[in-house]
Amino acid sequence: MNNIIEFLKKLPQSNIINSLIIIIISFFIYKLFSRILSKSEKHAINNKRLNNKGKTYFRLINSVLKYIFLIITVLLILQINGVNVSSLLAGLGILSVIIGLAVQDALKDIIRGSSILSDDYFSVGDIIKYNDITGKVLVIGLKTTKVQDILTDNIVSIANRNIEQVEIISNSLYVNFPMPYEVSINTAEKVIDEIVNEISEYDNVEDVTYKGVSELANSGINYLIKITCPPEKKYQIKRDTLGCILQILAKHKINIPYTQIEIHQK
C-alpha cells in the first residue's frame, strides 16, 4: 500500500486529474450506450419484434461494451501517465503465451459464449438444466450464463465452458401412473379419458394425449400420458396432474398398486 501511495505522489497533479476525468467520461459514455441498448430492447419487446435469440444478442452486446470501455479507459490512463502504449501492445506478443496459460479458463468461457450464439445452443428465455438446477436463462455473457432456478428463484451463474453439460428442457411432460391388473384395459382407458379431459382444462396446459400402456410392472399396469406445457410450469403441472389422478382413481374406487412381499411359513 505504501508503494502505491509513493507512486501517486510522484505523478504530476495534472495527470491524476486527467486520469479521473477519463474514468468519469468513460463511465458516462458506457452508461449512455447501455441505456440506449436497454431502451431499444424494451421497445422491440413491447412491439413483439424481439424473440429469445434477439434478447440474447442485446445482452451480449452490453456485456462486450463493458469490456471494450474498460480496456480503452485503462490504455488512455496509461498513455496519460507516460506509458508508451504502442510499445506495450507490441510487447504483449511475448507475454501472450504466459497470459494465455493464466487465463485459459476465461478464454474457454469466452469462446464457448460465442459458440452458444453461433450454434444457437440456447437463448435468453429458454429453460435449461445444469446438474441439479433447472432454470430460465436470464443473461448470456462473455464468461457466464445467468439462470434463475424455477424451484427456488435463486440466480445461478454457469461458466460458459460447461455448456456441454447443459440440457435444454422441452415443452413435453410425460407422466406414468399404475393401475391394478384386476382393472381391465377398457375400464382403465375410460378412467384415463376422464383424467385427460380434467387436465386439459388446467391453466398453461396446451395439449394432453394418452399414449397407451408403458409397462407391465410387477404390481400393476403402467399407463402413460403426455402433456404439452411451458417448460417453466412443468413442476406445478406435474403436481396438479398427480393430484388429479389420485382423486379420479379414488372416485372410481381404484387403488394405486404397490409392491407387496408374500412370506410363506412351513
pLDDT at 202: 93
Which three three-digit cell numbers place residue 192? 384415463
Instruction: Kindly state the greatest CA–CA separation across the chain.
Output: 102
Nearest alpha carbon to residue 77 among 12, 18, 3: 18
pLDDT at 73: 81
Distance CA 22, CA 173 (A): 55
- Kindly tell me if the per-residue pLDDT of 163 is higher than 60: yes
Q: Which residue has better confidence, 47 or 251?
A: 251
- Contact status, residue 37 vs residue 30, Cβ threshold 8 Å: no
pLDDT by residue (tens digit) across 52-105? 556 666 666 777 777 777 777 877 777 777 666 666 555 555 445 445 544 556
- What are the Cα distances from residue 196, in Å, to 157, 215, 224, 251? 38, 19, 11, 15
pLDDT at 80: 74
Domains and CATH numbers, the chain: 2-102 (1.10.287), 118-168 (2.30.30.60), 172-251 (3.30.70.100)
Provide the β-strand partners of residue 133.
130
Beta strands in the chain (DSSP E): 127-130, 133-140, 144-149, 155-159, 166-168, 172-179, 207-216, 221-228
Distance CA 248, CA 254 (A): 9
pLDDT at 60: 67
pLDDT at 264: 56
